[in-house]
């Protein structure tokens, strides 16, 4: 099958890709019974089993994992001596974050200004549409073995698949693993994500008084727990916004594609006149350096607060950890830093939460070379190497379980998709082009291995 034929077939399949995605978006597959009925996740799983079975996959099975979510697996046999490729996706989605924040119905795929809107349209159901389109375009002409693994709780981070993978290595073993929960640098600019920052969360609690006391009678001498907490949190960054956690380096530079500041301001919805953080380039700050973010603070709300000094306050802090830095060591450094930064001998306790190691993907090898060639052919331009500030702990599980596999991150989730936010969308041209990329990769990978 020629490259031109692959391209033509994918383009002809785009109406079906739209219908696939519309059906998937209609399933409110938030893996949290407090936010969405569990049967919505089950409907999504049933649909996946039917869709991949129709493509000839054998034993398309839903496995219940330790967190109650269902992982979907299936196998499509190629020649006996052919290499194996594992295609990853997740079929759960983020909650809508308020229906009134959306400009079109959350669970109805809606076309607007050339993009398709709906929760999960990009993250990650757009990638499932990409898989299905690529496989349909190849038909019976697939010279590799393919296994699918669909995760049912990725957005909740409850670890169902992270537990499942090491327990089922023979079911999932592959020479190349395509983690399709990422995307390109921009629409029309193909990219491989070669690094992910890890994660290290903590909760810090500050106590100064046995109870709240009147701010008029005692203010000025009585230590304020909220003020102490604010002072401690302020030490996590310098005046330029650089991370300043004692013992953690924050000067590494990103060696891949630069992230222009103007583009980042648009992608991150930075308000006019507000400065970007840090003394490095944007790519350094978001892909190569640690970053501490205060996720939440427990204290009295403005409405309903009284003239009282706060006796106790706490905060949840998220630390992103770049490749080359140990996540557990970084977490300990953050905990020690907060204790040392406490003023007035305030009582401080710091509890560790989740941690996850950073990840570095393949940048050489036959699968990598085949993928770069496929992207260059499909897009007609050079492939960029980029990082991702977010974390995908499963990548490290794959790397530990299958140390010989080439692992690559790719997909349809470019910055304009607004994943995790209201008005999530996907550019259909990205589904089309990335389906061509995947089809060319699956067609050419075995030949490169000889």
Distance, CA of 277 to CA of 285 (rounded, Å): 8
Does 124 sit behind a cis peptide bond, omega within 30 degrees of 0 on the bond before it? yes
**Residues 324 and 358: beta-carbon distance below 8 Å:** yes
The verdict on whether 154 is a catalytic residue reads yes
Angle between helices 125-138 and 3-12 (to 10 degrees): 130
Distance, CA of 253 to CA of 166 (rounded, Å): 34
The verdict on whether 92 is a catalytic residue reads yes
Q: Which residue is catalytic, options 154, 155, 175, 427?
A: 154
Backbone dihedral angles phi then psi of residue 29, each to the nearest 5 degrees = -85, 60
Distance, CA of 88 to CA of 161 (rounded, Å): 11
The contacts of residue 394 (CB under 8 Å, 6+ apart) are: 88, 151, 154, 161, 162, 165, 179
Cα→Cα distances 310→204, 209, 211, 341, 343, Å: 15, 8, 8, 19, 15
Q: What is the CA 399 to chain-centroid distance, rounded? A: 17
Distance, CA of 130 to CA of 328 (rounded, Å): 36
The residue length of the chain stands at 450
Backbone dihedral angles phi then psi of residue 65, each to the nearest 5 degrees = -100, 180
Q: Which residue is catalytic, options 92, 181, 406, 414?
A: 92
Active site residues: 92, 154
């Amino acid at each position: 099958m020629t490259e031109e034929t692959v391209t033509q077939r994918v383009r002809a399949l785009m109406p079906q890709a739209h219908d696939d995605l519309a059906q998937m978006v209609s399933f409110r597959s938030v893996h949290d019974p407090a936010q969405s009925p569990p049967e919505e996740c089950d409907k999504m799983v049933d649909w996946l089993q039917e869709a991949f079975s129709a493509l000839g996959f054998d034993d398309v099975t839903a496995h219940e994992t330790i967190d109650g979510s269902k992982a979907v697996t299936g196998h499509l046999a190629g020649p006996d001596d052919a290499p194996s490729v594992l295609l990853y996706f997740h079929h759960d989605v983020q909650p809508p974050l308020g229906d009134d924040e959306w400009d079109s119905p959350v669970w109805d795929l809606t076309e607007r200004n050339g993009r398709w809107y709906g929760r999960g349209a990009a993250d990650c159901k757009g990638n499932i549409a990409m898989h299905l389109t690529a496989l349909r375009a190849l038909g019976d002409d697939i010279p590799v073995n393919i296994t699918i693994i669909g995760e049912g709780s990725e957005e909740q981070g409850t670890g169902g698949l992270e537990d499942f993978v090491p327990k089922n290595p023979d079911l999932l073993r592959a020479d190349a693993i395509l983690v399709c929960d990422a995307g390109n640098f921009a629409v029309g600019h193909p990219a491989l994500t070669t690094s992910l920052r890890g994660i290290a969360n903590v909760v810090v609690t500050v106590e100064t008084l046995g109870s709240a006391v009147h701010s008029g009678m005692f203010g000025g001498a009585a230590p304020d727990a909220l003020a102490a907490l604010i002072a401690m949190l302020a030490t996590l960054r310098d005046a330029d916004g650089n991370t300043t956690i004692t013992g953690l380096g924050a000067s590494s530079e990103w060696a891949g594609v630069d992230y222009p500041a103007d583009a980042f301001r648009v992608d991150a919805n930075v308000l006019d006149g507000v400065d970007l953080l840090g003394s490095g380039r944007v790519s350094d700050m978001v892909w190569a350096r640690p970053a501490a973010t205060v996720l939440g603070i427990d204290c009295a709300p403005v409405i309903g607060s009284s003239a009282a000094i706060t006796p106790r306050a706490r905060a949840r802090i998220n630390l992103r950890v770049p490749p080359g830095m140990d996540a557990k060591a970084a977490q300990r450094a953050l905990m020690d830093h907060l204790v040392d930064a406490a003023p007035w001998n305030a009582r401080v306790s710091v509890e560790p939460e989740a941690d996850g190691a950073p990840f570095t993907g393949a940048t050489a090898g036959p699968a990598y070379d085949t993928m770069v060639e496929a992207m260059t052919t499909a897009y007609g331009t050079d492939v960029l190497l980029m990082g991702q500030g977010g974390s995908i702990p499963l990548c490290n599980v794959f790397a530990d379980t299958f140390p010989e596999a080439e692992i690559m991150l790719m997909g349809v989730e470019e910055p304009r998709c607004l994943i995790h936010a209201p008005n999530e969308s996907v550019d259909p041209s990205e589904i089309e082009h990335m389906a061509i990329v995947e089809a060319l990769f699956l067609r050419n990978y075995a030949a490169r291995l000889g």
